[in-house]
Amino acid sequence: MRFDVVTLFPAMFAAITEQGITRRAYELGLWSLRTCNPRDFTSDAHRTVDDRPYGGGPGMVMMAEPLALAVETLRRDGGGAQVIALAPGGNPLTDATVRQYAERGASLALVCGRYEGIDQRFLDSCVDEVLSVGDFVMSGGELAAMALIDAVVRQLPGALKDESVDDESFATGLLDGPHYTRPEVWREQSVPQVLLSGHHRDIEAWRRREALQATLSNRPDLLRQARAEGRLTARDESDLRELAQMGAAASRSAA
Ligand SMILES: C[S@@+](CC[C@H](N)C(=O)[O-])C[C@H]1O[C@@H](n2cnc3c(N)ncnc32)[C@H](O)[C@@H]1O
């Protein structure tokens, strides 16, 4: 799968080509990366890519023309089947979107903003979708673009060696439950007995219940969605009722 990134800071992307799972997948040829610096598409001596905002106000805005020339160039080179800009105000990036990109495998161009953002006319005319990686503001779109690339790459067949993407958070509609490894007792805290029992069915049932508990506590909105999609069994529903009652009783006794 091909990614083209339009960025003022191409060196940042060594973090994903030179480290971890994304590096291995990169070296296996599962994905490729081209960076395109908007400064290479300027015509003045200072290679200016930003200017003051019309209407006044603080900060600078990225100009449309260098970005448009960058996107046109990478498209001529066969990239950018879909052009995505990163911005805090974009649609939230979700597991479902990530999986769609990985399944389609089409080339993606990612446009990283800096300063106060990007001239709206470029977004309106050259960008297919604007995505946000969360309700917070970073200094630039590079980390957001890398988050998207990392999440998509780990979904590509062959990217993971001995892990599965099918039982991770969101894939089942629930959050992942807790994990434990050696030693069996760490600072007086023991691993739950069931995990030492060797009874696979009991372990699976325990993991499912823990996933339900984590989702109920931290993301009840996901439970509503899982229910609407028919992804909860009768057993899940009865576990959830019990967990909710236990939670209510615990908060009553704490009060
Ligand atoms: C300082 S931010 C601009 C913030 C913008 N003025 C606002 O208030 O929404 C600069 C760039 O960082 C990137 N960025 C910052 N936070 C982001 C987020 N949560 N998701 C995606 N991109 C983000 C965008 O590319 C943005 O153009």
Could you tell me if 18 and 117 lie in one domain?
A: yes
Could you tell me if 26 and 96 lie in one domain?
A: yes
Could you tell me if 112 and 39 lie in one domain?
A: yes
61 CA to centre of ligand 1 in angstroms: 12
Residue 65 within any structural domain of the chain: yes
113 CA to centre of ligand 1 in angstroms: 7
Residue 50 within any structural domain of the chain: yes
CATH number at residue 216: 1.10.1270.20
Q: Across the chain, which distance is largest between two alpha carbons, in Å?
A: 70
Could you tell me if 29 and 100 lie in one domain?
A: yes
Rg (CA), the chain: 23
Residue 165 within any structural domain of the chain: no
Can you give the pLDDT at residue 224?
A: 97
Q: What is the dihedral of CA 145, 147, 151, 152, to 10 degrees?
A: 10
Could you tell me if 145 and 234 lie in one domain?
A: no
Three-state secondary-structure class, residue 96: helix
Q: State if residue 59 touches ligand 1 by the CB under 6 angstroms criterion.
A: no
Could you tell me if 210 and 116 lie in one domain?
A: no
Residue-range definition of the domain harbouring residue 15: 2-153
242 CA to centre of ligand 1 in angstroms: 42
Can you give the pLDDT at residue 163?
A: 80
Distance CA 203, CA 193 (A): 10
Domain limit, last residue, from 97, 132, 153: 153
Can you give the pLDDT at residue 29?
A: 98
Could you tell me if 94 and 210 lie in one domain?
A: no
Q: State if residue 112 touches ligand 1 by the CB under 6 angstroms criterion.
A: yes
Residue 117 within any structural domain of the chain: yes
Q: How far is CA 54 from the centre of its chain?
A: 33
| 41 within 8 A of 69, measured Cβ to Cβ | yes
Could you tell me if 145 and 71 lie in one domain?
A: yes
Domain total of the chain: 2
Could you tell me if 129 and 189 lie in one domain?
A: no
Could you tell me if 55 and 142 lie in one domain?
A: yes
70, burial (CB in 10 Å: exposed 0-12, middle 13-18, buried 19+): buried
Domain limit, last residue, from 101, 135, 153: 153
Residue 115 within any structural domain of the chain: yes
Among protein residues, the one with the nearest Cα to ligand 1's atom 1 is: 139
Q: State if residue 114 touches ligand 1 by the CB under 6 angstroms criterion.
A: yes
Task: Dump the DSSP string for 205-249.
Answer: HHHHHHHHHHHHHH-HHHHHHHHHTT---HHHHHHHHHHHHHHHH
62 CA to centre of ligand 1 in angstroms: 12
pLDDT in tens, the chain (255 residues): 999 999 999 999 999 999 999 999 999 999 999 999 999 999 999 999 999 999 999 999 999 999 999 999 999 999 999 999 999 999 999 999 999 999 999 999 999 999 999 999 999 999 999 999 999 999 999 999 999 999 999 999 999 987 889 889 999 999 999 999 999 999 999 999 999 999 999 999 999 999 999 999 999 999 999 999 999 999 999 999 999 999 999 989 888
Domain limit, last residue, from 153, 175, 209: 153
| 34 within 8 A of 64, measured Cβ to Cβ | no
Can you give the pLDDT at residue 167?
A: 86
Distance CA 242, CA 38 (A): 56
129 CA to centre of ligand 1 in angstroms: 14
Residue 84 within any structural domain of the chain: yes
Residue 175 within any structural domain of the chain: no
Q: State if residue 88 touches ligand 1 by the CB under 6 angstroms criterion.
A: yes
